[in-house]
Amino acid sequence: MNPSPDQVPERLTAKTSWLLKELAVQAGRLSHEAFGAAGAKPYWYPLLAALAEFGPSSQAELGRRCRIDRSDVVAAVNALVADGCVERTADPVDRRRNVITLTASGRERLGVLDERLAAVQRELLAPLDTSERTQLTDLLWRLLAERTPERGDRPAP
Amino acid sequence: MNPSPDQVPERLTAKTSWLLKELAVQAGRLSHEAFGAAGAKPYWYPLLAALAEFGPSSQAELGRRCRIDRSDVVAAVNALVADGCVERTADPVDRRRNVITLTASGRERLGVLDERLAAVQRELLAPLDTSERTQLTDLLWRLLAERTPERGDRPAP
DNA sequence: CTCATCTCAGTCAGACTGACATTC
DNA sequence: CGAATGTCAGTCGGACTGAGATGA
C-alpha cells in the first residue's frame, strides 16, 4: 500500500536545525491553508494580534513586535486597510509616523483567525500530551529569546 | 544601549507554529552562512549525508529520504557532479534511473560540513543543557514522524 | 547633521507545480 | 496500459536589501 516510508539519514534527524525547518514547513502549509480559507493574506494574523494586544501603533513598532520587515509591513497594512480591518491615520505629534488602528471588523477577523490557528496547533501537536506541549513551547521560547536581542529592527546603515 | 526589546504579542509566543517558523528562520540563517563559507550550495548536505549513510542511490530515492523535491534534486546533483562530490551513472538494470555515487572528495566535503553544522547546533542550543536538548529533539521528532507517512514522493497525477 | 519612519523596487533562497519523454 | 524516473521551465510565498523622501 504505502510506497516505502523511506528512512531519513540520521545526520538529519539528529540536527535540531533540520527538524525545526522541516516542521516549520509543515506548520506553514497548515497555517497557510487555514488563513487562505478565511480570506486572510500572510502577515495579517501577527499584525492584528499586535494591534489587539498593544493598541494603536506605528508601522515600525508593528514590525518590531511581530518580527516582520518594515517594507513587508507596508504591503500588509495596505491590504488590511483595503479590507477594512485597520485604519491608517497620520500621527499628529510625529508626522513621519502612521498610526494604525484596529477596526471592529478587524477585531472580528482576528477572532476567526484565532480559531483557525488554534485548530492548526491542535493538529500539529496531536501526538503530544498537555505537559509535553508546554514543555516544547517552553524550550522553543527559550531558544528564541536567547537570539532575539540584537535585531529589534534593521540596524542603521 | 539596546533600542527596545519590544514585546511580542502573546498570541504569537503561545503558538508552536510561530515559534517553529521563527526559530527555523534563525537556524536557516546560521546554516546558510556556515555552508556558504564552506563553498556548499543548498541541499548539498542532506544529499551527501544520505549517500554516505545508505550508499549509492537513485535521485528519486535521495529526494524521498531527504524530503527534497525531485526537480530540486536534479539541480543539486548537477552542481555536486560539477564539484566532484558525486558521480552520476546510468543504472544498467533500470534504465530510467541514474545511480548517484559518493566520491572520495564528496566524503571529505561531508566531513567539513558536519563540523560546520555541528557548530551551528551548538550555537543554536546554547541556552539548553544536555538533557533538555535530547528532550527537544525527541519532541520535535515525534511531531515530524506523525505527519510524515503520506508524502514519500509527489503523488502520481 | 543624524537618525527614524514610510515607501517602492527588486533580489534571493526555497518549496512546489506542470508538463514531457523514457522506461518499467 | 498505468506507474515511476529524470528533466526543464516556471510559479509563489516569504525574508531581506537598497535607496529615496520626509520629518524629529
Query: What pLDDT is recorded for position A155?
Result: 54
What is the mean pLDDT, run by run of 10 residues, along chain B of 157 residues?
Answer: 68 97 97 94 96 98 97 97 97 97 98 97 97 97 83 55
CA B22 to chain centre: 17
Query: What pLDDT is recorded for position B2?
Result: 38
List alpha helices for A1-157, DSSP H.
Answer: 10-13, 16-37, 44-54, 59-66, 70-82, 104-124, 130-146
Query: What pLDDT is recorded for position A43?
Result: 96
Contacts of A15 in chain B (CB under 8 A): 117, 121
Which of B9, B117, B144 has its CB closest to that of A65?
B9
Interface of A with B in 49-88 (CB under 8 A): 49-50, 52-54, 61, 64-67
Closest nucleotide to the alpha carbon of A28, via C1'? D13
Instruction: Give the residue with minimal CA–C1' separation from D5.
Output: B96
Work out the minimum CA distance from A104 to partner chain B, whole angstroms: 19
pLDDT confidence tier of residue A76, bands split at 50, 70 and 90: very high
In this predicted structure, the answer to whether residue A152 has a pLDDT above a threshold of 70 is: no
Contacts of A130 in chain B (CB under 8 A): none
Work out the minimum CA distance from A108 to partner chain B, whole angstroms: 15
Say yes or no: A128 contacts chain B, CB-CB below 8 A: yes
In sequence order, the β-bridge partners of residue B102 are B86
Query: What pLDDT is recorded for position B148?
Result: 72
CA distance B100 to B62: 9
Quick: pLDDT tens for A91-136. Answer: 999 999 999 999 999 999 999 999 999 999 999 999 999 999 999 9
pLDDT above 90 covers a percentage of chain A that reads 87
Closest nucleotide to the alpha carbon of B75, via C1'? D7
Average pLDDT, chain A: 92
Query: What pLDDT is recorded for position A154?
Result: 53
pLDDT mean over A31-54: 96
Which of B46, B114, B136 has its CB closest to that of A139?
B136
Whether pTM > 0.85 for this model: the answer is yes
**DSSP codes joined into one string, chain B:** ------PPPHHHHT-HHHHHHHHHHHHHHHHHHHHHHTT--TTHHHHHHHHHHH-SB-HHHHHHHHT--HHHHHHHHHHHHHTTSEEEEE-SS-TTPEEEEE-HHHHHHHHHHHHHHHHHHHHHTTTS-HHHHHHHHHHHHHHHHHT-GGGSSPPP-
Do B17 and A121 lie within an 8 Å CB cutoff? yes
